[in-house]
Structure 1
Amino acid sequence: MILDRNAITQDVPINPETGKPYLNTVAAIQVSVSGAGSEVSPYVAQAVKVIRDSGLPQETNALFTDVEGDLDEVLHVAGEAAKKLAEQGYRTSLVLHMDIRPGFTGQLTEKPQIVDKLLSE
Structure 2
Amino acid sequence: MDRNAVRQDVPLDPQGRPIVNTVAAVSIAPSGVGSELSEHVAQVIGVIRDSGLPNETNAMFTNIEGNLDEVLGVVRDAAMVLAGQGYRTEVCLKLDIRPGFSGQMAEKPRLVDDLLDGR
Unaligned residue ranges in structure 1 (runs of 5+): none
CA distance in 2, matches of 1:33, 1:71: 24
Report sequence identity in percent: 61
The equivalent residue for 2:25 is: 28
The equivalent residue for 2:54 is: 57
The aligned amino acid for 1:109 is A
Count of residue correspondences:
118
Could you say what the CA RMSD is over the residues aligned between the two structures, in angstroms?
0.6
Query: Scaled by the length of structure 2, what TM-score is found?
Result: 0.97
Query: Scaled by the length of structure 1, what TM-score is found?
Result: 0.96
The equivalent residue for 1:110 is: 107
The aligned amino acid for 1:13 is P
CA distance in 2, matches of 1:10, 1:68: 18
CA distance in 1, matches of 2:48, 2:59: 15
CA distance in 2, matches of 1:65, 1:6: 27
Deviation at 1:15, TM superposition (A): 1.3
The equivalent residue for 2:92 is: 95
After superposition, the C-alpha distances for 1:44-78 in whole angstroms (9 at most, x for unaligned) are 00000000000000000001110000000000100
The aligned amino acid for 1:4 is D
**Deviant stretches of 4+, over 4 Å:** none
The equivalent residue for 1:14 is: 12
